[in-house]
Amino acid sequence: MFILKILVRNAFRHKLRTFLTILGITVAILAFGLLRTFINAWYGGVEASSASRLITRNSLSLIFFLPLSYKDKIRQVDGVKTVSWGNWFGGIYVDEKHFFANFAVDAKSYLDLYPEYILTPEEETAFLRDRKGFVAGRKLAKRFGWKIGDTVTLRGTIYPGNWDFVLRGIYRGRDESIDETQFFFHWDYLNESLKKTTPSRADQVGWYMVGVSHPDLTPEVSLAIDRLFKNSIAETLTETEKAFQLSFIAMSEAILIAIELVSFVVIIIIIAVVANTMSMTYRERIGEYAIFKTLGYRGWRIAGMILGESMVITGIGSFWGILLTFPVARYAGKILSNYFPVFKVPAEAIYMEIVASFIVGILAAIVPTWRAIRIRIADGLRRID
């Protein structure tokens, strides 16, 4: 405790310089934490993916459809437990600024396949009974103030016209990684409407969601499904739900790499800031270190003093940076909720910040420590005013 008291007093000899250094470390650690949170949010859908679900789509592109008749053949594949299907709807609520994911699904099989979307028994029953019913995530319903029984109209883009839906359920995620901003309704409602308006587009699905009986069977089931439709009018590509999500992220891989590099550049900046402070401290205390040597202090004791002071400054700045990461990330999550439904500071980011603070404290003290240990007593005493 006595040594810590000395280190703190030494660190705050020049209060303004120390304060500015701590402020710089705080801002840098905060920036590092937010950048890591942003990267984690980008991969949010991947983390929530199930190992026992597959996605089957057209092998050419997701924009091409698959026949509805494929569902019966997929069900017959060994290892397949559940088959559901859906179409991206792409409807607009009010205007383009109010974007949210909305799609048509086979309601019963979809809810069975995604137990992480939790509805009350009454809401689930009401949704399944109402062809024009839809289910919204808790965050989405809160965003627009929707209540059970409200009628919501979406303007179709892929499927032109105004489409009326009735809110029959508001789901909550089983855990914090679940997206609570989605909007899904009955695929049958969409298909029946298409049969009346554009029959050529009816009985077509955007993708199939396949539940397998055991995660270990996913490779065999994927190959079996794709072999089943090889050389057909619409060949398929079946992949795990995680791989499917990653295919979207791959489109912006360059951006993610750039953000990751920036996050590590921030650490280098912190090292430069603290190293500059410690170098100034060394130059001011050369005489003191020489006196310590005359009193019998060995090099490791002097090294401990310099390193300890560096760790105190870095530790205080890192503590405030980590502490501020949570409220700032919460505020940023509200602003970016339209794009990142799950914006939560990951535990890995905190661990990285703690490790980074130790690394910064050590690296920043290396040069001043080395010079203090090597300086001769006579040379040090000449610097005393």
DSSP output for 18-73 = HHHHHHHHHHHHHHHHHHHHHHHHHTHHHHT--TTEEEEEESS-TTS-EETTHHHH
| Nearest one of 245, 186, 205, 194 to 58, comparing CA atoms | 205
- The answer, yes or no, to whether residue 383 has pLDDT greater than 60, is no
State the pLDDT confidence band at 177, using cuts at 50, 70 and 90: confident
Question: What residues contact residue 313 under an 8 Å CB cut-off, 6+ apart?
Answer: 11, 18, 21, 22, 25, 274, 277, 361
**What pLDDT is stored for residue 200 in this prediction?**
86
Contact between 363 and 355 under an 8 Å Cβ cutoff? The reply is: no
pLDDT (tens digit, 9 = 90+) per residue, 94-152?
A: 888 888 889 999 999 999 999 999 999 999 999 999 999 999 999 999 999 999 999 99
When pLDDT is averaged across residues 359-375 and rounded to a whole number, the result is: 72
**What pLDDT is stored for residue 329 in this prediction?**
85
When pLDDT is averaged across residues 326-346 and rounded to a whole number, the result is: 76
pLDDT (tens digit, 9 = 90+) per residue, 22-56?
A: 888 888 888 888 888 887 777 665 566 677 899 99
Report the DSSP pairing between strands 133-137 and 161-173. Answer: parallel
**What pLDDT is stored for residue 346 in this prediction?**
81
**What pLDDT is stored for residue 44 in this prediction?**
64
**What pLDDT is stored for residue 263 in this prediction?**
78
**What pLDDT is stored for residue 296 in this prediction?**
58
Element (H, E) at 17: helix 15-42
- The answer, yes or no, to whether residue 366 has pLDDT greater than 80, is no
**What pLDDT is stored for residue 361 in this prediction?**
78
**What pLDDT is stored for residue 41 in this prediction?**
74
**What pLDDT is stored for residue 244 in this prediction?**
80
pLDDT (tens digit, 9 = 90+) per residue, 304-323?
A: 677 777 788 888 888 998 89
Does this model's pTM top 0.75? no
pLDDT (tens digit, 9 = 90+) per residue, 182-239?
A: 999 999 999 999 998 888 889 999 999 999 998 888 999 999 999 999 988 899 999 9
State the pLDDT confidence band at 295, using cuts at 50, 70 and 90: low
Task: List the beta strands (DSSP E) in 157-305.
Answer: 161-173, 183-186, 204-205, 207-212, 236-240
Structure tokens at 377: 């007593």
- The answer, yes or no, to whether residue 10 has pLDDT greater than 70, is no
Comparing 19 with 294, which gets the higher pLDDT?
Answer: 19
When pLDDT is averaged across residues 68-77 and rounded to a whole number, the result is: 93
pLDDT (tens digit, 9 = 90+) per residue, 246-287?
A: 766 666 666 767 777 887 788 788 777 777 776 666 555 655
